[in-house]
Amino acid sequence: MKRFIPILFTLCLSGCGKNHMQDLQTFVQNAGRTMKGQVTPLPAFQLQKSYGYTAKDLRDPFKPKRFSSKIQGQGPNLGRPKQPLEMYPLSSLSFIGTLEMNGHRQALIHTPDGHVITVTQGQYMGEDFGRITAIHKRSIDLHEKVLNDKGTWITRDTQVVLQGKSK
């Protein structure tokens, strides 16, 4: 067996020594001569008619609308001191229960920073001057004062519902 390995190796090397790839080299040399690249010319550029911007004096649609100096409607009392729940958005406050003493119902409100605050009818909560008009067992009714896009104060009725137990 060991005698056949050098013979086999010699046969393999002798096959590599002859130039059997002359036809491939000839094809490669001739193939490049017939190929010529063709690039189509770019289309002619046509000048477009220019237009002047004439809306310079109009309001920029990407800037907030400024209200006129005269605001209409009955606005909130801006002179009164703010109450603790007015510094939170209404959506971040949770109504978690009620207490009733001597026929007066109070609501328990959970704030985003973990405090529980007791409120009664007539107090304010939320950033839109929401005045509590009624406290029910499962909801709180509010009248909010908001400024619409025309610069008019409007009253919006809102309700905060009792939050169920989270799992």
Give the CATH number for residue 149.
Answer: 2.30.30.830
With respect to residue 110, please indicate whether it lies within any of the assigned structural domains. yes
In a domain, 56, yes or no: no
- Whether residue 154 is contained in a domain is answered as yes
- Which positions ≥6 away from 122 have C-beta within 8 Å? 131, 132
Digit-coded pLDDT (tens) for 38-67: 888 889 988 888 888 888 788 777 877 665
Give the pLDDT confidence of 71-119 residue by residue, as tens digits: 566 788 888 999 999 999 999 999 999 999 888 999 999 999 999 999 9
Question: Structural domain tally of the chain?
Answer: 1
Give the number of other CB atoms < 10 A from CB of residue 147: 16
The reply to whether 37 falls in a domain is: no
Residue 125's domain comprises: 84-160
Q: Does 156 fall in a domain?
A: yes
Under DSSP, the state recorded for 58 is: S
Q: Please calculate the CA angle 116-119-121 and round it to the nearest 5 degrees.
A: 160
Whether residue 120 contacts residue 108, with contact meaning beta carbons closer than 8 Å, is answered with: no
- Coil, helix or strand at residue 132: strand
What region does 126 belong to: left with phi over 0, alpha with psi -120 to 50, or beta? left
Between CA 85 and CA 91 the distance in angstroms is 12
State how far the Cα of 162 lies from the Cα of 164, in Å rounded to an integer. Answer: 6
Residues 6+ apart with CB under 8 A from 57: none
Kindly state whether residue 72 falls inside one of the protein's structural domains: no
pTM of the model: 0.56
What is the pLDDT, as a whole number, of residue 4?
74
Place of tokens 């920073």: 113
Classify residue 8: in a domain, yes or no. Answer: no
Domain presence at residue 23: no
